[in-house]
Structure 1
Amino acid sequence: MPKQLTYIFVSFFFLGTMFATASTAMQTLPLQEDATDVQPRTFEDDFKDAYDSNDYVYEIEKSEGWFTRFVDWLERKINDLFNLGSRKKAAKYLNVVKLVFYGLIIIAVVYFIVRAIMNGEGRWVFGKRSDKKLVQYEDVETNIHIVDFDALIREATLNNDYRLAVRYQYLNMLKKMSNYEIISYDPEKTNLEYTYEIKNDSLREQFQYASYLYNYIWYGEFIIDKSQYDKASNSFNVLLKNIAA
């Protein structure tokens, strides 16, 4: 321990002596003064003209597109129109307008996409069923009074779907009977309930036979050909003629 203290003391003493010697030396150095006569330089008034060429242009002007110019024009117009006092405030208002504009574009795009998809299925989800041909297959029974059954029957027979054509024949029969107030149509009613509502005995008998054909072919999933369909269709047509008579 004593040796270590001795080394530390000697080190501090040595460093202190060096700093003191350096400080004394700096104080005794002579100062040199520059007595040179400095003359201010002057420039000709037209000296800038010598640097007007493209060789001395170091800033590249960025070409602004039409959209940038349009936005700049809008900012000026908004500033003048609302007396905002600064282009910064006009830019804030313009940003709000741009957000609304972009939002409307997105809504329009979504609208047309969804509309195209829904039209592919036959109707537009937010629209009214103004066209009778646009009624969905599963909605025919609940919208019986607005359906063009003649068109549906033609389409089904052209596709050789005679079973479906018989279904349309039956629903068309119910529609005509409801229009002539022979029955009160309700998609929840059964054929037996309709039978009780028919007052004419002959018409009631024809309705029971047509209903039998419909139940046998449609609910029994009985596949029929064209000749069998023509016979069933004749039964429906006879009943329709008697309704109109």
Structure 2
Amino acid sequence: MDSVVPLADGADEWSDVPLAADSLAPRAIPDAVLSRYRRDPAFQYDNPRAERPSVWDRFLEWVFQNTLAPIGESLGPGGMRVLLIGLAALLLGWALTWMLRIGGGSPFAKRDVAKPAHPLLDVEEIADVDLRAHHREALARGDFREAVRYRYLLVLQTLDAQGAIRWSRHKTNREYVREMRSATSREQAEAFHEATRVFDWVWYGRRPVDRDRYDRLAPLFTALDRQRQPAATA
């Protein structure tokens, strides 16, 4: 008969339930059960099965065994190393040639992604161009998008004459914005930045411009065109 473990006084309502003294003793697991679990791969944590090679791994192995391995056996370790270096050089040369053909220049050259494919005005000196006459002609024929272009060019012409920027047909509008920020007041630089943003949106975004839209955009350029910048201080 199992002995009963006495419980201390003041225990809970279950204190009068008799417990066998050996109720917490570990139970022995039959050898047959242990053997069955040991044979089950799902429980072999200390001996994981190797994953099967992928199709790509098998292809690379086939290429190596059928091409490089025979060559390596005939050339020896030193010759195989020279061959691998030569193949790497050929691959690098092909990649550089492809990049030069696509990019049209050195692959390591710094490029300004904002630079337009064609200059906004293909002249060396913007001061020599009668932009106001071109602007009037664009308005007369109802080409308001072209009129916006000449209004922006008039702003650049004025700022170049004042020394706030230096005109170059190879520069981007972003470069002019940077020049304005370093040569003028913050208010004037921000006004030019806003006019540039609107111009880029119209011209490079190929937005249609009618008379009403032109009349709403023109004051942005007129205010800058008529400004007189103070001389820059050292």
Shorter-chain TM-score range? 0.3 to 0.5
* Structure with the largest fraction of helix: 1
TM-score normalised to structure 2 length: 0.43
- Structure with higher Rg: it is 1
TM-score normalised to structure 1 length: 0.41
Flag the structure with more relative contact order, 1 or 2, with Cα contacts below 8 A and sequence separation at least 6: 2
